[in-house]
Amino acid sequence: MKAGRKGASSARESVSVHDQKLERGQGGDMHQVADGDTPLLTTAQGGPVADDLNTLKVGSRGPALMEDFHFREKIFHFDHERIPERVVHARGYGAHGYFETTRSLAEYTRADIFQRVGEKTPAFVRFSTVAGSKGSFDLARDVRGFAVKIYTQEGNWDLVGNNIPVFFIQDAIRFPDVIHAVKPEPDRAFPQAQSAHDNFWDFISLTPESMHMVMWVMSDRAIPRSFRFMEGFGVHTFRLVNEKDESTFVKFIWKPKQGLQSVVWNEAVKINGADPDFHRRDLWSAIKAGDYPEWELCVQLFDQEFADSFDFDVLDPTKLIPEEVIEPIPVGRLVLDRMPDNFFAETEQVAFMTQNVPPGIDFSNDPLLQGRNFSYLDTQLKRLGSTNFTHLPINAPKCPFHHFQQDGHMAMRNPVGRANYQPNSWGEGPRPDPRRGFRSFAAAEEGQKQRLRPESFADHYSQARQFYRSQTAVEQDHIARALTFELSKVETVVIRERMVAHLRNIDEGLAGQVAEKLGMRQMPAAAEAAVATRDDLELSPALSILRNGPDSFAGRKLGVLVGPGSDAALVNGLCEAFEAEGAMVEFIAPAVGGIEASDGSWIEADHMIDGGPSVLFDAVALVLSKEGAALLTEEATARDFVADAFSHCKFIGFTEGAGALLAKAGVEADADEGLVPLGEASAIEGFLKACRQLRLWAREEAVKL
């Protein structure tokens, strides 16, 4: 029996393992051979295969023969398995789901998807990091991509956003520079998936427009606990256009129903070693367990009059509109409920494009968006190798579509009939419809051709200050520490100084802290600013993660450390309470096979202690007998388990028997209210209540990570 393991809480899937029919071949190799139930192995041409383990040779020890078409086909295909990874956002993970319209926007847009409340439209989402290559780790300090493809009845709508509402640069022509700067340095090819190096900070320190974004990427937003606990932002101002061809400006925001949550930097570094796929595994486990993540789509709507009166230019992608200024209105929900059947076919081959907008949604003149509208089509040809990438099922629209585009590499859908042009006299083929078709909003534009940044884009510090000052003290401290860490990896002193000079325009206290922690002997002069930083912007509590906590442990994970003789009733009680909350429970034991609990039942483990460090969990319970604790105090990993949980401000439930392990890990059992004694089953409710705070931030000052 497996104590405490109930229902579908386990991330582990049950996989049925079949006994396969094996035949021993010559030389001792083992062949699995087709029987009645298994399909016959064939070549790609459909030819049945007799032997898939041995190449065709002259004799058993002789040279291989060219005529072995099965071998050549198999290796040829393998040699070509890789396609170019995305130049940015290479590492990503996707899931299927649906978008449900919860509010009609018919007044503002003729977009079909916003007409009928309750209608569900299929969607695919890909989350990603930006800088690292495909095989890099999940918890890099980085922006996360949040790309959504919604297969609407009037064509695919791609909202290719990030988990941060602003960007580094104000003009698309600078994109290759910011990306070159953050990627591994070209002479040495490191560091991988990190911004903590000279080239990145050199570029940033020479680019004042990036300062607002820098505050965000140095905040905990850049080390999310999971994709499920992130917001998503369309970033740019878009337009909604209604039947009467009237335009309303719009910004799109995805709000996670699960609440926002991040990890701390020390934890991120350790997670990357313990489980480089932490975010992937999290999404996979949640969806496989039926705990479907959900986001609300909100819109910030505004007109030209607001745009003219707002403190900043609404076309400037380094600025946001605070939620307190324009309230986001919920208009739909996105639910992810199915993992792809095949990672390559779907997540790798999905092609998002900012230019995919249905009639009723249109672009603004945001210079980043305008540039992106070129880049996303262009890059698909490089990556997917054919203009026919829309023939791939993941990219094909799910509404009827007809056009005269034809031929090209790998064309899988070819028009039938005689007419492959229009107009034609054959009465065949599709025709445009001026009423239903996409009509660009007829914005009046005039001006001289020039390469010029508008004056209205010139204030680079005020919103950076507003962001920093809107954070809690704990979050501000994390920003200061992140900046210090990153700049400590910068070898060129003048770059560090240039950055501190910018920070002085954002917040003198922040600049002072960073300068001190960097060991700067003299404070550099403040950077020259095109526009002096404003002091009159209202703080925006919506910008803080901690001020908007979910007050729930749902969707989070409890790690229960068990050993021989663990209290079975307590283990069962913890499982029941945490599962009822909607959380997952996993067991960590000295051996993965499990342990015998106090009542003689067997608790199977999910991890052995070396493979299940506490950084993988949101809270931990040490359910140990004296005997079990004695065994574990000998293990460095068990001591780290406790010490890390404590220094990462996690809630720790513990039995009396666990006292020895706490002591050995240097944690006092009565250090603070985050240590919750689990004397009897009645204490579980209090422990769960505490865990709903997610972290005991008050401890951080004491542990000084």
Two structure tokens written together for 435: 């009423």
Instruction: Specify whether 505 is catalytic.
Output: no
Closer to ligand HDE at the Cβ: 372 or 664?
Answer: 372
126 vs 270, beta carbon nearer ligand HDE = 126
Distance CA 454, CA 411 (A): 45
Cβ 561 to ligand HDE shortest distance, Å: 37
Task: List the beta strands (DSSP E) in 306-439.
Answer: 329-338, 361-363
- Give whichever of 368 and 642 is closer to ligand HDE, judged by the CB atom: 368
Least spacing, CB of residue 395 vs ligand HDE, in Å: 11
In the complex with ligand HDE, which residue's Cβ is closer, 88 or 597? Answer: 88
Q: Closer to ligand HDE at the Cβ: 87 or 392?
A: 87
Determine the residue with CB nearest ligand HDE. Answer: 145
Contact 232, 254 (CB under 8 A): yes
45 Cβ contact list (under 8 Å, min separation 6): 73
Closest to ligand HDE by CB, 153 vs 375, is 375
Quick one: which of 559, 558, 569, 570 has its CA closest to 655? Answer: 570
Residue 371 CB, nearest distance to ligand HDE (Å)?
A: 4
- The number of C-alpha atoms within 13 Å of 172 and in the hemisphere containing its C-beta is 14
Say if CB 64 and CB 71 are below 8 A apart.
Answer: yes
DSSP string, 71-106: HHHHHHHHHT---PPPSSS-SEEEEEEEEEE-S--T
Q: How far is the CB of 85 from ligand HDE (least distance, A)?
A: 9
Contact positions toward ligand HDE, by CB under 6 A?
Answer: 86-89, 92, 126, 128, 145, 147, 160-162, 167, 172, 175, 235, 317, 352, 368, 371-372, 375-376, 379
Which residue among 89, 212, 236, 279 is the active-site one?
Answer: 89
Q: Which own/partner pairs from 505-511 qualify as long-range (CB within 8 Å, at least 24 positions apart)?
A: 505/211, 505/461, 505/465, 505/529, 505/533, 506/211, 506/215, 506/461, 506/464, 506/465, 506/468, 506/533, 507/465, 507/468, 507/469, 510/468, 510/476, 510/479, 510/480, 510/483
Residues ≥6 apart with Cβ < 8 Å to 668: 662, 675
Catalytic residue among 156, 162, 395, 505: 162
> Could you say which DSSP state residue 37 is in?
T
Nearer to ligand HDE, 167 or 461 (CB): 167
Nearer to ligand HDE, 317 or 524 (CB): 317
What separation in angstroms does the CA of 121 have from each of 26, 288, 395?
A: 56, 21, 15
Assigned token pair, 527: 């950077």
Q: Please identify, using beta-carbon distances, which residue of 172 and 615 lies nearer to ligand HDE.
A: 172
The nearest distance, CB 323 to ligand HDE, in angstroms, is 18
For 375, other C-beta atoms within 10 Å of its C-beta total: 17
> Smallest gap, in angstroms, from Cβ of residue 254 to ligand HDE?
12
Least distance between ligand HDE and beta carbon 179 (Å): 8
Alpha helix (H) ranges present in 441-472?
Answer: 462-469
* Nearest distance from C-beta of residue 92 to ligand HDE, angstroms: 5
Residues in CB range of 515: below 8 A, 6 or more apart: 500, 523, 524
Cβ partners under 8 Å of residue 3, min gap 6: 568, 571, 572, 597, 599, 601, 602, 603
CA–centroid distance for 267 within its chain? 17
- Reply yes or no on whether 572 is catalytic: no
Q: From the CB of 611, what's the least distance to ligand HDE, in Å?
A: 30
Residue 262: both structure tokens together: 């991040």
Taking the CA atoms of residue 464, residue 158, residue 101 and residue 226 in that order, the dihedral angle to the nearest 10 degrees is -60
| Catalytic sites, residue numbers | 89, 162
